């Protein structure tokens, strides 16, 4: 018997025995972890059944997962659906009231980010800006400082001082659309980028061929696609975080990603140049004046300057494109808007911000634009509780990825009957339904992580949409036979910040008198904006590469 026992030990430590042992331990670890997932799943809000290791990752569609989250929530009859990204649960809020309960009423718990608590947020956290950027920074004193500095640039009080600037640039963009309607998308991008460039760096952007348009905004569109949960790289790194530790040269999935970050990026040098040379007061000057007092490092300055640009440019231009799409698809809105504008404003001048109180239907058009197709369709970056929490009997572990699905929230038929229809009248006082936010939409996020550029974007959208509706009867394009070309209200890009795919349309001046006013006011605006003309020696492609 002793001999047999010895042979068994020898077999155990033989190469084949070691392999069997490793395989056995691996299977045990997978089973144990899967049991952990299933036990935790029993305490979480309902969701699709997860697989071991990969969770629900490979059950997600190739594009637009927010639509699937909404479908799952409706099928399971739950405002919150749990989706497992790898071995970790993520909670998707598909109803405004649940989102408000967690992200606003419990903001002291739900204002941090997943990577800073317990569970990884790899792409935008570990491989991104981490604790040097307001967007990905954990909630705390440093975050509050960055928020305070940002409010100096685009807070509610600061934005009031930009009304004349936005008035001038909106007059200019209407004249640009009149002169070159085929390039209306690029005119919108130039307009929105120019406003924030003046605020941030003291110089305007006078052409949509400026590198800040052709390079920076293009890069922002690419970056937006990185934050969409999915089953392809780079977001597959959220399912398999260990893959992020492979050297870039050996791992094709790590191209463009790195754990090493340069502290002096494009926006740092853009801000430094403006602080040293701009004759106009700007946010960059404030950053470099405040920097030594708050021990801001170069990457923090870069992040604050870049966030200002991102918060005010892409949101505004993308919303304007959605507005044009909506007017083409629902032409009766244009007629109602023109009736109000002709009665209140007339044809000798365009509307101004001072007309807001007298233009309730135009205000409703702006609100419906933000509700109908929110730009940040999944509500920006995820929130995470800093401690275990319980909501409606469900256990939400500390550090869980919690995100608002604005696609589902804004299409909830209880809050918004016939949600796919563009109906500004739903925002008129006599028709308003209860909603947790006073404005009646949640396009800029929730709680303490709400977008810092909200006030700037809302003010800019009102004046620009009002002027476009006053200036033009916006209609579908015509084909070679003179028939209208249909537009697809669901043809949108697949990214964190979504916008309609390209579509042609017509901008028909309301009258000869209106056209004359457009040209006069556009020329006057250009004269007043001359003080902001200038150039920068920096190019984003020198920092980020030519692609």
Map 163-181 to HEC letters.
HHHHHHHHHHHHHHHHHCH
- The lowest-confidence range among 176-180, 212-216, 366-370 is 212-216
Q: So what's the pLDDT on residue 494?
A: 85
Number of helices followed by number of strands (H, E) in the chain: 19, 7
Rounded average pLDDT over 341-365: 97
Q: Encode burial over 340-349: b for 16+ CB neighbours within 10 A, e otherwise.
A: bbeeebebee
The sign of the dihedral angle between the CA atoms of 282, 283, 284, 285 is positive
pLDDT at 129 over 80: no
Q: Work out the pLDDT band at 115, boundaries 50, 70, 90.
A: low
How many other C-beta atoms can be found within 10 angstroms of the C-beta atom of residue 535? 7
Q: Work out the pLDDT band at 117, boundaries 50, 70, 90.
A: very low
Residues that constitute the known binding site = 451
**pLDDT (tens digit, 9 = 90+) per residue, 227-286?**
667 766 666 777 777 677 777 676 666 666 654 444 458 899 999 999 999 999 999 999
- The lowest-confidence range among 198-212, 257-271, 344-358 is 257-271
Structure tokens at 280: 């106009």
CB-based burial of residue 219 (10 Å sphere; 0-12 exposed, 13-18 middle, 19+ buried)?
A: middle
What is the distance between the alpha carbons of residues 238 and 127, in angstroms, rounded to a whole number? 11
Average pLDDT value over all residues in the chain: 89
Q: What is the per-residue DSSP string for 465-478?
A: HHHHHHHEEEEE-B
Beta bridge partners of 234: none
- H/E stretch holding 304: helix 298-329
Is the pTM higher than 0.95? The answer reads no
8 A C-beta contact, residue 375 and residue 447: no
Long-range pairs, 58-67, Cβ under 8 A, ≥24: 58/231, 60/229, 60/230, 60/231, 62/230, 62/231, 62/232, 63/494, 64/492, 64/494, 65/228, 65/229, 65/230, 66/377, 66/378, 66/405, 66/406, 66/407, 66/408, 67/407
**pLDDT (tens digit, 9 = 90+) per residue, 176-188?**
999 999 999 999 9
Owner of token pair 């981490």: 130
SS3 88: strand
Q: So what's the pLDDT on residue 263?
A: 45
8 A C-beta contact, residue 110 and residue 121: no
pLDDT at 118 over 50: no
Q: So what's the pLDDT on residue 154?
A: 86
Long-range pairs, 59-63, Cβ under 8 A, ≥24: 60/229, 60/230, 60/231, 62/230, 62/231, 62/232, 63/494
Residues that constitute the known binding site for heme = 451
**pLDDT (tens digit, 9 = 90+) per residue, 33-50?**
999 999 999 999 999 999
What is the distance between the alpha carbons of residues 397 and 189, in angstroms, rounded to a whole number? 41
Greatest mean pLDDT range, 16-25, 137-146, 358-367, 381-390: 358-367
Q: So what's the pLDDT on residue 116?
A: 46
8 A C-beta contact, residue 452 and residue 151: yes
How many other C-beta atoms can be found within 10 angstroms of the C-beta atom of residue 479? 10
What is the distance between the alpha carbons of residues 323 and 326, in angstroms, rounded to a whole number? 5
Task: Using a pLDDT cut of 90, give the percent of the chain over it.
Answer: 68
What is the distance between the alpha carbons of residues 126 and 122, in angstroms, rounded to a whole number? 5
- Could you tell me the domains of the chain? 43-544 (1.10.630.10)
Rounded average pLDDT over 54-81: 94
**pLDDT (tens digit, 9 = 90+) per residue, 479-508?**
999 999 999 999 998 878 899 999 999 999
Of 210, 200, 453, the C-alpha closest to 305 is 200
8 A C-beta contact, residue 125 and residue 113: yes
What is the distance between the alpha carbons of residues 253 and 162, in angstroms, rounded to a whole number? 43
What is the distance between the alpha carbons of residues 488 and 504, in angstroms, rounded to a whole number? 11
Angle formed by the axes of helices 454-471 and 163-179, to 10°?
40
Q: Encode burial over 73-101: b for 16+ CB neighbours within 10 A, e otherwise.
A: beebebbbbbbbbbbbbbbbbbbbbbbbb
Beta bridge partners of 26: none
8 A C-beta contact, residue 202 and residue 282: yes
Rounded average pLDDT over 300-325: 89
The sign of the dihedral angle between the CA atoms of 8, 11, 17, 20 is negative
What is the distance between the alpha carbons of residues 237 and 127, in angstroms, rounded to a whole number? 10
- The lowest-confidence range among 5-14, 218-227, 358-367, 463-472 is 5-14
Q: So what's the pLDDT on residue 17?
A: 73
Of 364, 366, 381, 352, the C-alpha closest to 322 is 366
Q: So what's the pLDDT on residue 256?
A: 61
SS3 161: coil
- The lowest-confidence range among 195-204, 207-216, 359-368 is 207-216
Task: Using a pLDDT cut of 70, give the percent of the chain over it.
Answer: 88
Strand 505-509 with 394-396, pairing: unpaired
Owner of token pair 């006078």: 206
**pLDDT (tens digit, 9 = 90+) per residue, 457-483?**
999 999 999 999 999 999 999 999 999
């Amino acid at each position: 018997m002793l001999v047999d026992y010895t042979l068994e030990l020898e077999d155990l430590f033989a190469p084949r025995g070691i392999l069997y042992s490793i395989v056995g331990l691996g299977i045990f670890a997978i089973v144990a972890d899967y049991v952990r997932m299933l036990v935790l799943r029993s305490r979480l809000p309902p969701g699709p059944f997860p697989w071991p290791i990969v969770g629900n990752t490979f059950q997600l569609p190739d594009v637009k997962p927010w639509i699937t989250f909404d479908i799952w929530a409706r099928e399971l009859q739950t405002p919150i659906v749990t989706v497992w990204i790898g071995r970790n649960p993520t909670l998707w809020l598909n109803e405004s009231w649940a989102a408000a309960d967690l992200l606003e009423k419990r903001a002291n718990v739900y204002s941090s980010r997943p990577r800073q608590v317990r569970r990884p947020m790899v792409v935008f956290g570990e491989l991104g800006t981490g604790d040097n950027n307001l967007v990905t920074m954990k909630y705390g004193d440093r975050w509050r400082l960055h928020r305070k500095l940002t409010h100096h640039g685009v807070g509610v009080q600061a934005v009031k001082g930009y009304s004349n600037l936005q008035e001038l640039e909106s007059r200019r963009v209407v004249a640009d659309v009149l002169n070159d309607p085929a390039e209306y998308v690029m005119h919108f991008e130039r307009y929105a980028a120019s406003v924030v460039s003046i605020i941030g760096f003291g110089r305007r952007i006078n052409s949509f061929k400026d590198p800040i348009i052709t390079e920076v905004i293009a890069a922002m569109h690419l970056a937006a696609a990185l934050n969409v949960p999915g089953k392809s790289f780079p977001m597959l790194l959220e399912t398999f975080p260990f893959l992020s530790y492979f050297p870039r040269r050996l791992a094709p999935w790590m191209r463009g990603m790195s754990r090493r970050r340069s502290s002096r990026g494009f926006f740092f040098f853009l801000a430094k140049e403006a602080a040293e040379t701009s004759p106009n007061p700007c946010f960059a000057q404030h950053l470099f004046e405040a920097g030594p007092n708050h021990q801001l490092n170069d990457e923090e300055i870069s992040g604050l300057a870049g966030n200002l640009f991102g918060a005010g440019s892409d949101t505004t231009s993308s919303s304007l494109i959605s507005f044009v799409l909506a007017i083409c698809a629902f032409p009766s809105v244009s007629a109602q808007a023109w009736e109000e504008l002709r009665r209140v404003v007339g044809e000798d001048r365009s509307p101004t911000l001072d007309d807001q109180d007298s233009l309730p239907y135009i205000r409703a058009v702006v609100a419906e634009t933000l509700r109908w197709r929110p730009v940040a369709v999944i509500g920006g970056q995820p929130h995470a509780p800093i401690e275990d929490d319980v909501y409606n009997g469900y256990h939400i572990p500390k550090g869980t990825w919690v995100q608002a699905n604005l696609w589902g929230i804004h299409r909830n038929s209880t809050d918004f009957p016939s949600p796919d229809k563009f109906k500004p009248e739903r925002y008129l006082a006599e028709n308003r339904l209860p909603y947790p936010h006073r404005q009646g939409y949640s396009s800029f996020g929730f709680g303490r992580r709400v977008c810092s550029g909200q006030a700037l974007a809302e003010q800019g959208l009102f004046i620009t949409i009002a002027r476009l509706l006053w200036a033009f009867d916006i209609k579908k394009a015509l084909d070679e036979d003179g028939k209208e070309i249909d537009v697809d209200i669901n043809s949108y890009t697949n990214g964190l910040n979504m916008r309609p795919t390209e579509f042609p349309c017509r901008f028909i001046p309301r009258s000869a008198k209106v056209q004359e006013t457009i040209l006069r006011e556009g020329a006057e605006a250009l004269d007043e904006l001359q003080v902001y003309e200038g150039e920068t020696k920096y190019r984003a492609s020198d920092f980020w590469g030519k692609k």
